[in-house]
Amino acid sequence: MKILTNNRRAYYEYEILEEFEAGLVLVGTEVKSIKEGRVNIKEAYVEIKGSEAFIVGMHVAPYREGNLQNVDPYRERKLLLNRREIKKLHAQVTQAGLTIVPLKIYVNKKGLVKMEIALARGKKLYDKREAQKERDVKRQLERYL
């Protein structure tokens, strides 16, 4: 598994509750651009419309050698999930007020581009400070040992 991009901001801003693996519906030049690592998911989120899930706000830079085949870098892309997973995500988002955020994009063993998404709850400012304090203490202990 080769990780192409990681959303470190999501781990800082949200409390990750449950993770899912989803495929992406991409156009030819997008796949090449993503495999080069020219993708940004920091501002992206997942939206459920009807019985389908879409990634909104993901930026895929246009492929350098693609001319007319390049598409809009910010277009919504469909996520491939099981119907059961989509229903579960939709119920959690509407009832519990959670958010679905992308965590990372990677290429699996078969060469397919996959995205790891997660159900997340937004952290408050004091939660972020507490998490930062715990990381600092852990880092100091590691240095000491």
pLDDT surpassing 80 at residue 50: yes
Strand, helix or coil for residue 101:
strand
Closest CA relative to residue 55, chosen from 30, 25, 27, 31: 25
Q: What is the mean pLDDT of the chain?
A: 91
Could you tell me the residue range of the domain that residue 116 belongs to?
2-144
Between 28 and 106, residue with greater pLDDT: 106
Percent of the chain with pLDDT over 70: 98
pLDDT surpassing 90 at residue 142: yes
> Which CATH number does the domain housing residue 131 bear?
2.40.280.10
Phi, psi (degrees; rounded to nearest 5) at 51: -115, 25
pLDDT tens readout for residues 67-116: 776 788 899 999 999 999 999 999 999 998 899 999 999 999 998 999 99
- pTM, whole model, 2 decimals? 0.82
Phi-psi region of 93 (alpha: psi -120 to 50; beta: other; left: phi over 0): alpha
Place of tokens 């050698």: 65
Number of domains in the chain: 1
Phi-psi region of 37 (alpha: psi -120 to 50; beta: other; left: phi over 0): left
Between 64 and 90, residue with greater pLDDT: 90
